[in-house]
Amino acid sequence: MAPKSVKKLLADTLEDLTDQNLEKFRHQLVDRQEEPRVRRARVEGKNFLDLTDVLVSTFTEKGAVPVAAGILREIDCHQEAKRLVEEYAKQSSNSGSTDETHFVDKHKLQLINRVSNIEPILDELLEKKVIQEEAYAKIRALSTSQEKMRELFITSLRASDTCKNIFHEILKKNEAYLVDDLQGK
**pTM of the entire predicted model:** 0.52
Phi, psi of 45 (to 5 degrees): 75, 10
**Bond before 120 cis per omega within 30 degrees:** no
The whole-number average pLDDT for the span 174-184 is 88
What stretches of 40-156 show up as alpha helix (H) in DSSP? 40-43, 48-74, 78-94, 103-106, 108-114, 118-127, 133-141, 145-154
Mean of the per-residue pLDDT values for the chain? 87
Question: Could you report the per-residue pLDDT of 1-10, keeping only the tens digit for each?
Answer: 556 788 999 9
∠ Cα 85 87 92 (to 5°): 90
Give domain 6-94's CATH number out of 3.40.50.300, 3.90.76.10, 1.10.533.10, 3.30.429.10. Answer: 1.10.533.10
What is the C-alpha radius of gyration for the chain, rounded to an integer number of angstroms? 17
The whole-number average pLDDT for the span 159-171 is 86
Residue 159: pLDDT band (50, 70, 90) is low
Question: Could you report the per-residue pLDDT of 66-107, keeping only the tens digit for each?
Answer: 899 999 999 999 999 999 988 888 876 655 444 467 888 889
Superfamily of domain 103-183: Death Domain, Fas (1.10.533.10)
The helix-helix angle for 161-174 and 176-183 (nearest 10°) equals 120
Question: Could you report the per-residue pLDDT of 93-150, keeping only the tens digit for each?
Answer: 655 444 467 888 889 999 999 998 899 999 999 999 889 999 999 999 999 999 999 9
Residue-level pLDDT at 79: 92
In the chain, which residues fall in CATH 1.10.533.10? Answer: 6-94, 103-183
